[in-house]
């Protein structure tokens, strides 16, 4: 039974009921019903709206991801109480939503890779020494709290772009490493809890905790090092019309940067004129009124607006002729790959002696040609900004010529090498099987005669139809099977219908105990079992270290039964059925015992070996 953070009476769709905030879900139960009819998981909560402070009805609306309609709740308690209740919900939910927003741009699926254990996220983590800015950030509790998604994502991308240079490999720079770890913990409340319980209490060290979880750090580093690409759109500042017929264009540093990037000629004009001849504001004002701007606009309507445009002695100098000829004004010297060289075809045979009809003559629409050229250039620039300029050596790939003509599905698939089975004591296995075979041969005396076997099999299949029709199943086993199935179903139903009444505190303790044990187990096995080859990095611990770690973990694990016993005792003390707690903790105990036994055997074997 999940812990309830707060509850209140509230109606939804005019039906009275109870609104509850548990530590995983926000749920609403209609009066008289047992199961909640609305459940919103924390991770789904997307936005929250509240009614005004002095409105007659106290309302709260929550919208989960992918459902903008959301759910409307009206608090039905008398006025001052309702308001207080609402405020409480609002505070909790705001924190949750803020955390969701912070998590989503990064890696929302990271939680999947965690070891098992019930989810125990805690809304805020006050005891963590790590500064949790996101969790604590409960921005303005005004009438509508809706942290805007673009804003956060932008912020994240800016932050990411700062660290563009950091390598994806963790552990090089302690500061980066620490920051990464912090981020992973913050994005994963469950992992954060585990970390707090184990590392903060000093049970295992920080390094041990992260051992085997490197992939989380790597994923985090990778997602952070992703650069946001340039937006694809053409730079086309659309003027807004303000009252009074004036036209306004908002100039942002981003826009200025884009314009300079897109039109180097403007950058040149700017650098040549701005401090000396014109002020910055004046420059932009004149630019947006100039012919230059209209020539740059991604529109062929610019010819229509020509008459509005003023002559500008300074900027008109930079005006270039329209690039609307059949041949581009700027000839490109580079030769494309021969497989794509269209020019080669047109020069392949003598010039055409006939002209194509007018619809097929390219470049008849003078207005569209500069536009088309601009598209191509813009796309190329975008590509180059992402990939870097095309290296000239790549232009003519001679060695790859076959790749152009090959149809890959006509190739034989290369058979994979498969994974080599590594066996301990290979010789013994083979010897054993050989010996077994030899024995068998001895027993039979003669090699097997396949014909005889087939004959035998055939004989045994004779009259199978008759045999089958004679086959009768005894009534009793059938009945008993059915009975056991029914019982099984009944038992399940029983379990399901039984009310989950373990008190929240105990439940939480049980979960903690279990996750902790799980972590110890994980540490133990990772220290004991041979490591997968691909994970063998430089940082791999030496055998001695691993052995000592295993011993330490065993030490912790051996205490687990005591802890479970303590839990059982608490349960009995609070008047609960202790057996249920025992049942719940049994898998953990079994696992722990298995580890303990394994360890003991290993120790014994080692002792024997030493004794020899």
Partner 1 sequence: MCDLKRTLDATGHCVLEMPSGTGKTVSLLSLIVSYQQFYPTKRKLVYCSRTVPEIEKALTELKRLMAYRVECAETEEQKEKERNFFGMGLTSRKNLCINPEVAKEKKGKVVDAKCRDLTNTAVCEKARADPGSVPICDWHENLGQLEPGSLIPSGIWTLEDVLEYGREKVICPYFAVRRMLAFADVVIYSFHYLLDPKVAEQVSKELSKDAIVVFDEAHNIDNVCIESLSIDLTRPMLDSASRSIVKLGERIDEIKTTDAAKLQDEYAKLVEGLQESEPSDEDAIMGNPVLPDDLLSEAIPGNIRKAEHFVAFLKRFVEYLKTRMRVLHVVAETPLSFLQHLKDITYIERRPLRFCAERLQSLIRTLELSRLDEHASLQKVAGFATLVATYEKGFLLILEPFETEAATVPNPVFHFTCLDPSLAIKPVFERFSSVVITSGTISPLDMYPKMLQFTPVVQETYPMTLTRNAFLPLVITRGSDQVAISSRFEVRNDPAVVRNFGSILVEYSKTVPDGIVAFFPSYLYMESIVAAWNDMGILNEVWKHKLIFVETPDANETSIALENYRRACDNGRGAVLLSVARGKVSEGIDFDHNYGRAVIMFGVPYQYTESRILKARLEYLRDAYRIRESEFLGFDAMRNAAQCVGRVLRGKTDWGLMVFADKRFARADKRSKLPRWINQYITETASNLSTDMALTLSKLFMRTISQNPNENQTGVSLWALEDIEKAQAKQKALALEAEQRAGSDDEYGDGGFSDNALMDFELDV
Name residues contacting partner 1, limited to 297-316 (CB under 8 A): 298-301
Judged by beta carbon, residue 340 or residue 461, the one nearer partner 1 is 340
Nearest distance in Å: CB 229, partner 1: 8
Site for partner 1 in 86-105 (CB under 8 A): none
Judged by beta carbon, residue 404 or residue 572, the one nearer partner 1 is 404
Nearest distance in Å: CB 263, partner 1: 17
Give, as one character, the DSSP assignment of residue 363.
T
Give, as one character, the DSSP assignment of residue 11.
E
Judged by beta carbon, residue 373 or residue 522, the one nearer partner 1 is 373
Judged by beta carbon, residue 195 or residue 297, the one nearer partner 1 is 297
* CA 28/CA 465 separation, integer angstroms: 62
- Tokens, residue 291: 């012919």
Nearest distance in Å: CB 603, partner 1: 48
Give the range of 31-39, 102-110, 226-234, 455-463 binding partner 1 by CB under 8 A: 226-234
Site for partner 1 in 487-516 (CB under 8 A): none
Residues 6+ apart with CB under 8 A from 48: 60, 61, 62, 63, 90, 93, 94, 97, 145, 146
* CA 493/CA 133 separation, integer angstroms: 45
Q: Is 550 helix (H, G, I), strand (E, B) or coil?
A: helix
Judged by beta carbon, residue 386 or residue 482, the one nearer partner 1 is 386
Member of 68, 243, 399, 409 binding partner 1 (CB under 8 A): 409
Residue 280 near partner 1 by CB under 8 A: no
Nearest distance in Å: CB 418, partner 1: 17
- CA-based R_g, the chain, Å: 37
Member of 69, 112, 242, 407 binding partner 1 (CB under 8 A): 407
Member of 408, 425, 534, 562 binding partner 1 (CB under 8 A): 408
Nearest distance in Å: CB 592, partner 1: 42
Judged by beta carbon, residue 369 or residue 588, the one nearer partner 1 is 369
- Max alpha carbon distance in the chain (Å)? 113
Residue 401 near partner 1 by CB under 8 A: yes
Q: Which residues pair with 7 in a beta bridge?
A: 20
Give the range of 25-33, 42-50, 285-293, 384-392 binding partner 1 by CB under 8 A: 384-392
Member of 3, 168, 309, 382 binding partner 1 (CB under 8 A): 382
How far is CA 94 from its chain centroid?
22
* CA 99/CA 192 separation, integer angstroms: 13
Member of 175, 242, 308, 387 binding partner 1 (CB under 8 A): 387
- Cα distances from 433 to residues 424, 428, 430, 441, 448, in angstroms, run 15, 8, 5, 12, 18
Per-position DSSP letters for 20-39, written without gaps between them? EEESSEEEEEETT-SS-SEE
- Residues 141-152 as b/e (b if ≥16 CB within 10 A, e otherwise) read eeeebebeeeeb
- The structure tokens 């205490």 sit at 559
Nearest distance in Å: CB 227, partner 1: 13
- Cα distances from 90 to residues 61, 95, 255, in angstroms, run 10, 9, 38
**Is-contact 39 105, C-beta < 8 A?**
no
Pairing of strands 4-12, 45-50: unpaired
Nearest distance in Å: CB 380, partner 1: 5
Judged by beta carbon, residue 354 or residue 608, the one nearer partner 1 is 354
Judged by beta carbon, residue 341 or residue 463, the one nearer partner 1 is 341
Member of 151, 386, 448, 597 binding partner 1 (CB under 8 A): 386
Q: Which residues pair with 10 in a beta bridge?
A: 17, 75
Judged by beta carbon, residue 275 or residue 325, the one nearer partner 1 is 325
Q: Is 315 helix (H, G, I), strand (E, B) or coil?
A: helix
Residue 227 near partner 1 by CB under 8 A: no
CA 547, 553, 559, 564 torsion-angle sign: negative
Q: Is 231 helix (H, G, I), strand (E, B) or coil?
A: coil
Q: How many positions of this chain bind partner 1 (CB under 8 A)?
A: 72
- Residue 247 dihedral angles phi and psi, to the nearest 5°: -115, 135
Judged by beta carbon, residue 346 or residue 579, the one nearer partner 1 is 346
Nearest distance in Å: CB 402, partner 1: 6
Site for partner 1 in 321-380 (CB under 8 A): 326-328, 331-332, 334-355, 357-365, 367-369, 371-373, 375-376, 379-380
- Tokens, residue 446: 């003669």
How far is CA 103 from its chain centroid?
9
The torsion of the CA quartet 546, 547, 549, 554, rounded to 10 degrees, works out to 140
Member of 112, 175, 308, 398 binding partner 1 (CB under 8 A): 398
Nearest distance in Å: CB 302, partner 1: 11
Nearest distance in Å: CB 147, partner 1: 24
Q: How many CB atoms lie within 10 A of CB 469?
A: 8
Judged by beta carbon, residue 342 or residue 461, the one nearer partner 1 is 342
Nearest distance in Å: CB 359, partner 1: 4
Nearest distance in Å: CB 232, partner 1: 4
């Amino acid at each position: 039974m999940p812990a309830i953070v707060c509850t209140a009476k509230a109606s939804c769709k005019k039906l009275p009921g109870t609104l509850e905030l548990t530590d995983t879900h926000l749920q609403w139960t209609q009066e008289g019903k047992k199961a909640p009819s609305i459940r919103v998981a924390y991770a789904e909560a997307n936005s929250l709206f509240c009614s005004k402070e002095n409105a007659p009805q106290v309302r709260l609306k929550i919208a989960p991801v992918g459902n903008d309609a959301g759910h409307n709740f009206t608090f039905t308690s008398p006025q001052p109480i309702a308001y207080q209740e609402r405020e409480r919900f609002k505070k909790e939910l705001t924190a949750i939503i803020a955390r969701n927003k912070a998590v989503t741009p990064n890696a929302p699926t990271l939680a999947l890779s965690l070891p098992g254990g019930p989810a125990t996220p805690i809304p805020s983590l006050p005891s963590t020494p790590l500064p949790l800015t996101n969790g604590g950030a409960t921005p303005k509790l005004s009438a509508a709290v809706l942290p805007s998604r673009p804003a956060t994502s932008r912020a994240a991308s800016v932050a990411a772009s700062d660290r563009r240079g950091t390598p994806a490999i963790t552990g090089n720079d302690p500061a980066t490493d620490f920051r990464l770890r912090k981020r992973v913990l913050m994005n994963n409340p469950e992992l954060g809890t585990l970390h707090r319980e184990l590392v903060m209490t000093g049970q295992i060290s920080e390094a041990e905790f992260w051992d085997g979880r490197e992939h989380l750090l790597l994923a985090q580093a990778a997602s952070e090092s992703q650069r946001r690409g340039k937006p694809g759109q053409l730079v086309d500042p659309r003027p807004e019309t303000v009252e009074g017929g004036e036209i306004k264009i908002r100039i942002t540093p981003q826009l200025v940067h884009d314009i300079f990037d897109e039109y180097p000629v403007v950058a040149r004009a700017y650098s040549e004129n701005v401090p000396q001849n014109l002020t910055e504001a004046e420059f932009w004002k004149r630019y947006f009124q100039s012919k230059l701007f209209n020539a740059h606009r991604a529109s062929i309507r610019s010819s229509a607006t020509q008459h509005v445009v003023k002559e500008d002695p300074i900027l008109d100098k930079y005006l270039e002729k329209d690039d609307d000829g059949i041949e581009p004004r700027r000839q490109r010297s580079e030769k494309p790959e021969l497989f794509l060289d269209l020019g080669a075809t047109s020069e392949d045979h003598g010039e055409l002696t006939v002209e194509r009809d007018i619809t097929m003559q390219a470049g008849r629409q003078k207005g569209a040609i500069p536009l088309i050229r601009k598209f191509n250039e813009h796309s190329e620039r975008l590509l180059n900004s992402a990939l870097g300029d095309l290296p000239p050596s790549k232009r003519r790939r001679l060695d790859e010529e076959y790749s152009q003509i090959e149809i890959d599905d006509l190739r034989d698939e290369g058979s994979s090498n498969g994974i080599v089975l590594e066996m301990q004591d290979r010789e013994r296995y083979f010897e054993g099987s050989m010996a077994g075979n030899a024995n068998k041969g001895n027993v039979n005396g003669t090699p097997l005669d396949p014909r005889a076997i087939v004959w035998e099999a055939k004989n045994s299949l004779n009259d199978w139809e008759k045999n089958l029709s004679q086959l009768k199943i005894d009534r009793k086993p059938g009945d008993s099977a059915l009975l056991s199935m029914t019982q099984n179903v009944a038992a399940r139903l029983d379990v399901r219908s039984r009310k989950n009444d373990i008190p929240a505190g105990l439940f939480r303790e049980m979960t903690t105990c279990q996750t902790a044990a799980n972590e110890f187990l994980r540490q133990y096995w990772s220290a004991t079992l041979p490591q997968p080859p691909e994970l063998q990095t430089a940082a791999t611990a030496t055998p001695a270290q691993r052995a000592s770690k295993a011993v330490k973990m065993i030490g912790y694990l051996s205490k687990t039964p005591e802890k479970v016993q303590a839990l059982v005792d608490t349960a009995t003390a609070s008047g609960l059925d202790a057996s249920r707690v025992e049942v719940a903790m049994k898998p953990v105990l079994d696992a722990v015992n298995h580890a303990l036994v394994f360890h003991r055997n290993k120790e014994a074997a080692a002792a024997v070996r030493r004794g020899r």
